[in-house]
Amino acid sequence: MGNSIGRPRAVAWIRGEGRLRGCVKFYAIPRGAMVVAEVAGLPPSETGFFAMHIHEGGSCRGEGFPETGNHYNPGGEQHPNHAGDLPPLLSQNGRAWMAVETDRFTPGEVLGRTVVIHRHSDDLHTQPAGAAGKKIGCGVIRCAPEAEHCF
């Protein structure tokens, strides 16, 4: 996969509660971005699903990541049509992998913002953020010409 779309243009190194860690890579594609997430240390969950969003804020400081702000939503859309709304992570024994192509943003447009993993799945209708619950993981999206591997 990496050879067909080149190197990632940006990466967010995720850290969070307990042993939660991982990375989210952003590749440039002709009409937007390919987002690839690899996460480990997710807590047990009844459904196995965890919401993942791009938030507008640029800091993961503080308990509960209060400086991440709201979902990245430059177009003023209703949830789940925010530019920062991403598919959920599905955990298998605490690990998850996800890839999606999106035309909602380019890697350059999300630099300096945050990727947030939430405790629950996104219900895809509750406004403004899908009732996804507590923020349990966070990473700032940074330019990453050297990013190849998550772990």
Number of domains in the chain: 1
- pLDDT digits over 28-42, tens only? 999 999 999 999 999
Question: What secondary structure letter does DSSP report for 17?
Answer: S
E strand segments, 3-81: 10-16, 21-29, 32-40, 49-50, 52-55
How far is Cα 22 from Cα 118, in angstroms, rounded to an integer? 14
User: Which among 36, 34, 32, 33 has a CA at the least distance from the CA of 52?
Assistant: 36
Residue 125 buriedness (CB in 10 A; 0-12 / 13-18 / 19+): exposed
- For 49-88, how does the pLDDT look when each residue is reduced to its tens digit (9 = 90+)? 999 999 999 999 999 999 999 999 999 998 888 999 999 9
Nearest to 54 by CA among 124, 131, 107: 107
Q: Is 90 exceeded by the pLDDT of residue 25?
A: yes
Domain membership of residue 66 as a residue range: 2-143
Q: Residue 139 is part of a domain; what is its CATH number?
A: 2.60.40.200
Whether 150 is in a domain gets the answer: no
